[in-house]
Chain A
Amino acid sequence: MPEILFDGRRVAVEPGTNLVEAGLAAGVPVPIYCYQRDLGPAGACRVCAVSVTMQGKSRLVMACMTQAADGMEVTTLDPRSREFRRWVSEWLMMNHPHDCPVCDEGGECQLQDLTIATGHGIRRIQRPKRTFRNQYLGEFIQHEMNRCITCYRCSRFYQEYAGGRDFGVTGSRDRVYFGRFADGPLESPFSGNLVELCPTGVFTDKLFRYRSRVWDLEISHSICPHCSVGCNVRPGARHRELQRVRVSENRAVNGVFLCDRGQFGHGYVEEPRRPREPRVAGRAATWDEALAVAAGDLVAVAREHGPGSVALVASSRATLETHAALAALATGPLAGARLARFDDPARARRALAALAVLARAGCPPLEQREIGACDALLVAGTSLVDEAPLAALAALQVARRGGALFVLGAGERYLADAAKAVLPTHPSRLAATLGALAARVGGEARAPEPREPAGEAEVLAGLARALREARRPGLLFGSDLLDGPAFAAAASLARALAGAGATPRLGFLFPGPNGFGAAALAAADAASGSSPAGALEDLLAGHLRGALLVECDLERAGTRALSALRELDCLVVLDYLAGPLVDAAHVVLPARTTYESSGTYVNREGRAQAFTGALVPGEPVRALLHDGSFPRHPLPAPPRGNSWPAWRALEELRAWAVGGPAARERPEILGALAASHPFWSGIETLTPGSPGAVLDPARLAVAVPDLAAFAEPAAGLALFARDRTLGSEPLSRRAEPMRRMAGPPLALLSPDDATALGVAGRVELRADGQAVALAARALAGVPRGVVIVPRDLEWPEPLPQGAAVEARALAEEGAAPGPDGPQRAATGADP
């Protein structure tokens, strides 16, 4: 290992380490603009100049472009490198505008910091400054090209790291311009990272535009609640308003990147219709009144009809604390109340099936940081960028590093170009394909089935070879496009790989930020005799009499289910999202969002992570301004600031309903959960921002749930719903800019089906006597016989995955359909 002397500090670094990293190891931050650890060096900005003395000769080098060598003496403090860096600042300031007071980057601007640090103050040159026209880049990013210092971080990330094609660099001389060919929304779902990567204010957050200085923000360590990856974020709030969400570096999980859904999907926190006060029968009430009525009604229903007629439902966006407090409610008069851990029966079964595979496979989990390190990765049964965007970004790095990336999917768009092979697979045939692959991995060269499409055999053979020969093979499965046999085939593939001498890392996607945690709790419930989805199915079918819904998204559960819920003797809703059930509930208890409370989520790899809140909820100060004045009279408490964390409300409700021990605090709830089963050990001592604790599902006894196989419909198309990258899961679809960027819902068809049906712009889908018309597009990755719709598409009655629908082309109305998410051209799959 080379040993160097860095500003008088001796440090040994790995061979190949550049001098910026070596400086950090020695505790010396070398100034940088263009260098970024994940993007690598570019040598474009020249600000990292340091003096290197070796064998008696001293010279000026760029630290990011120079590898540490044994015996180097490096210094940032000598007059020569200092003067060089001062010149760099002066060059950069020749054209930098004088707009720091109105620039949102101010306060976290690397250019500002380093210009001051290098001592530059007066612009000596009197030449007028170069200007550029700015572009409209969509609803998320504000473009201000005059501020650019040409470090190339944006184009390197956008094109090389994230695989985007609609943004890049043009121009020559001092006219180097970073932008799109023409104005328009950025298509990459990772465009938000430009804001964080840009060392100055060329790309700023439009949602945070002209809101606050960053040093005034209240910031906390939180976890993104928009999918099951569990990225670390730092929400920033001021004046009782969540103003922005940024990525929080956590090398154990997401690194330094975040997707647009996580960064810009926080509008639900400030939604005007959000329930912020307890309500009883439509009228505002105090917490004590509301809790008394809720407890009295639930207990009355349990006494009259038996506790089995009461459902206690939480969802995969509820924290572990909330789930534990909900389970603790089922005692005393409510003992025997029926627990549901998910708000969708089908997704509950799939989450349990995935957990059962993980529990039995004996493979290490495919952690987020391991995805990019795989040298062969199979992504199956998902459109990864739509369901777990950051996992897709990590999967793309497999291909970038020269690894073998294979996709067996339905409608995969983001990874299609980078993957070694994409095999559009009908979800009903996924099990057979995985089985064939497992057989090949195990060494049996099976004769191709007669139905196997041409070319599939070669792809599977190549995939089997790549997985078998890989040093670090990875298997990443979705969940919503998998049926029972596919889960079993996934398990047998993992076993076959392990049998062939490889240790595959195995991962599944789960619904929601706490889907893994909810599934583990549901597995424990099932062990004590309750069916994982039975309670919810009975509730939605109208067989029960009372329900407590905690952070449940049942808006799309269908008219029959909604009217069954409205007709309950007692409906108590504890949530922070408005919706038809909040309007219909007898008692509404306002909960706090993730960014307003502390809690614990378990992400898809089984990593339990704690988070804390950044703000106290309440009416934002902005909404209280009157005629340019703040409120003239002091307010005793934040107006409409009466929300509680869901777990606290449940603990208080338990004290009202069944008595027993007083309401517990978070450490007690987590301590009790950790003591209940060795699987949960370690969750009670997590600190926010730490790598968290990876829970081992092998410690759980998970019964394989009863999950039917998808059948290929005899006539028509098989309908599958899945998330869209932007705006289809319940939280981000409430954010107005997100909805504008997501565009209208879009049905995806295979090019063959689209041609056969004559689909040009719109399509009508018909099933079970109901019809929905929506924009449609052909996409090469969609297998024949399948139509993919976004999960938030509203049907009068929801259809199960794989339901047969009839599709009919409609004449196009007016303009062409909007994009399905911003990455439409990245796939380039127009028919």
Chain B
Amino acid sequence: MIKEMIDGLGVTLRKLFARPVTVQYPEQKPLVPARYRARIVLTRDPSGEERCVACYLCSSVCPTDCITIEAAEREDHRRYPAAFRINFNRCIFCGLCAEACPTLALQMSTDFEMAETDPRELIYEKEDLLIDGGGKYPDYSFWDEAGTDVTHALGQGLQDQPPSDPRANLP
């Protein structure tokens, strides 16, 4: 028994002189990995327009049903969310929405500091979610790849041929 006591006190004694593992948050900020799954943001494409096309895939895949969207069409025929809400009271930060997002608009950021005292403050609308840059994927633009003529003339997209003429019968 004596041996066990000495062993135990030995551990205490050793740790007394070891570096503490406690991080002095908030004075001391922890280092968060780049792919950490915290506050959800809506990003913009390289031209500065919002990337989200309100396709409803994130709200459909969300297991807690915390995303609500209302799609609309802009004057230039661009599909966009007239309203976009994430209720972070319900969000479990599983990241399925970011995985589902086909335009890379919705991304998980590393900002986990979003505690509030009033739950209503945790209901984020589009203006709260939109950030200025492209997040983790600064160069991607969905509309350049989509094969539509919304942001450029028909056939000018990255994957498109010039428009064909169905009335031509040349080979």
A530 contacts partner chain B, Cβ-Cβ < 8 Å: no
B73 contacts partner chain A, Cβ-Cβ < 8 Å: yes
A203 to chain B, nearest CB (A): 16
A116 contacts partner chain B, Cβ-Cβ < 8 Å: no
Q: In the complex, A213 Cα to B73 Cα: how many Å?
A: 15
Q: Nearest residue in B to A178 (C-beta to C-beta)?
A: B166
Contacts of B24 in A (CB 8 A): none
Q: In the complex, A209 Cα to B72 Cα: how many Å?
A: 8
B58 to chain A, nearest CB (A): 11
Tell me if B147 and A210 are in contact (CB < 8 A): no
Given contacts A101-B102, A102-B55, A128-B160, contact A630 B60 (CB under 8 A): no
Q: In the complex, A147 Cα to B145 Cα: how many Å?
A: 14
Question: CB within 8 Å of B: which of A672-690?
Answer: none
Tell me if A628 and B84 are in contact (CB < 8 A): yes
One digit per residue, 1 when the CB lies within 8 angstroms of any chain A CB and 0 when it does not, for chain B 121-148 equals 0010111000000000000001001111
One digit per residue, 1 when the CB lies within 8 angstroms of any chain A CB and 0 when it does not, for chain B 61-86 equals 00000001011110000010111110
B168 contacts partner chain A, Cβ-Cβ < 8 Å: yes
Which of A128, A146, A172, A628 is in CB contact (< 8 Å) with B169? A172
Given contacts A129-B159, A621-B70, contact A175 B164 (CB under 8 A): yes
B56 contacts partner chain A, Cβ-Cβ < 8 Å: yes
Q: In the complex, A212 Cα to B54 Cα: how many Å?
A: 9
A286 contacts partner chain B, Cβ-Cβ < 8 Å: no
Tell me if B126 and A130 are in contact (CB < 8 A): no
Which of A101, A176, A629 is in CB contact (< 8 Å) with B55? A101
For the complex, count residues of A whose C-beta is within 8 A of B. Answer: 39
Q: In the complex, A177 Cα to B160 Cα: how many Å?
A: 17
Q: In the complex, A209 Cα to B73 Cα: how many Å?
A: 8
B97 contacts partner chain A, Cβ-Cβ < 8 Å: no
Tell me if B82 and A175 are in contact (CB < 8 A): no
Q: Nearest residue in A to B80 (C-beta to C-beta)?
A: A210
Given contacts A102-B148, A131-B162, A170-B167, contact A628 B79 (CB under 8 A): no
Contacts of B167 in A (CB 8 A): 170-171
B57 contacts partner chain A, Cβ-Cβ < 8 Å: yes
Q: In the complex, A102 Cα to B120 Cα: how many Å?
A: 31
Pick the interface stretch among A92-100, A505-513, A776-784, A807-815. A92-100
Tell me if A212 and B56 are in contact (CB < 8 A): yes
B155 contacts partner chain A, Cβ-Cβ < 8 Å: yes
Tell me if A131 and B155 are in contact (CB < 8 A): yes
Q: In the complex, A106 Cα to B57 Cα: how many Å?
A: 10
Q: In the complex, A99 Cα to B167 Cα: how many Å?
A: 25
One digit per residue, 1 when the CB lies within 8 angstroms of any chain B CB and 0 when it does not, for chain A 676-719 equals 00000000000000000000000000000000000000000000
Contacts of B126 in A (CB 8 A): 628-629
One digit per residue, 1 when the CB lies within 8 angstroms of any chain B CB and 0 when it does not, for chain A 140-169 equals 000000100000000000000000000000
A90 to chain B, nearest CB (A): 16
Tell me if B159 and A128 are in contact (CB < 8 A): yes
Tell me if B56 and A213 are in contact (CB < 8 A): yes
Contacts of A131 in B (CB 8 A): 147, 154-155, 160-164
Tell me if B127 and A175 are in contact (CB < 8 A): no
Interface centre among B120, B125, B164, B167 (most CB of A within 10 A): B164
Q: In the complex, A97 Cα to B155 Cα: how many Å?
A: 11
Contacts of A175 in B (CB 8 A): 164-166, 168
Contacts of A174 in B (CB 8 A): 164
A357 to chain B, nearest CB (A): 51
One digit per residue, 1 when the CB lies within 8 angstroms of any chain A CB and 0 when it does not, for chain B 42-54 equals 0000000000011
A176 to chain B, nearest CB (A): 7
B171 contacts partner chain A, Cβ-Cβ < 8 Å: yes
B107 contacts partner chain A, Cβ-Cβ < 8 Å: no
Tell me if B55 and A106 are in contact (CB < 8 A): yes
Q: In the complex, A99 Cα to B53 Cα: how many Å?
A: 10
Contacts of A625 in B (CB 8 A): 70, 82-83
Tell me if B154 and A133 are in contact (CB < 8 A): yes
Interface of B is mostly: mixed
Contacts of B102 in A (CB 8 A): 100-101
Q: In the complex, A627 Cα to B123 Cα: how many Å?
A: 15
Contacts of A101 in B (CB 8 A): 53, 55, 57, 102-103, 142, 146
Q: In the complex, A413 Cα to B74 Cα: how many Å?
A: 40
Tell me if B159 and A216 are in contact (CB < 8 A): no
Tell me if B146 and A173 are in contact (CB < 8 A): no
A123 to chain B, nearest CB (A): 9
Q: Nearest residue in A to B120 (C-beta to C-beta)?
A: A632
Q: Nearest residue in B to A172 (C-beta to C-beta)?
A: B169
Tell me if A98 and B164 are in contact (CB < 8 A): no
Tell me if B125 and A129 are in contact (CB < 8 A): no
Contacts of B163 in A (CB 8 A): 131-133
Q: In the complex, A179 Cα to B163 Cα: how many Å?
A: 15
Contacts of A210 in B (CB 8 A): 54, 71-73, 79
Tell me if B70 and A98 are in contact (CB < 8 A): no
Tell me if B166 and A130 are in contact (CB < 8 A): no
Which of A98, A171, A212, A628 is in CB contact (< 8 Å) with B159? A98
Q: In the complex, A215 Cα to B65 Cα: how many Å?
A: 14
A622 contacts partner chain B, Cβ-Cβ < 8 Å: yes
Given contacts A129-B160, A131-B164, A171-B166, contact A628 B82 (CB under 8 A): yes
Q: In the complex, A653 Cα to B57 Cα: how many Å?
A: 47
Q: In the complex, A132 Cα to B148 Cα: how many Å?
A: 10
Contacts of A179 in B (CB 8 A): 166
Interface centre among B68, B82, B159 (most CB of A within 10 A): B159
Tell me if A211 and B71 are in contact (CB < 8 A): yes
One digit per residue, 1 when the CB lies within 8 angstroms of any chain B CB and 0 when it does not, for chain A 197-217 equals 000000000000111110110
| New A-B pairs, 20, CB < 8 Å, besides A132-B163, A146-B147, A175-B164 | A97-B146, A97-B147, A98-B146, A98-B147, A99-B148, A102-B53, A102-B148, A129-B147, A131-B164, A171-B167, A175-B166, A177-B166, A179-B166, A215-B60, A216-B59, A628-B81, A628-B127, A629-B126, A630-B85, A632-B120
Which 3 pairs, one residue from A and one from B, show the smallest C-beta to C-beta distance? Answer: A97-B147, A177-B166, A171-B166
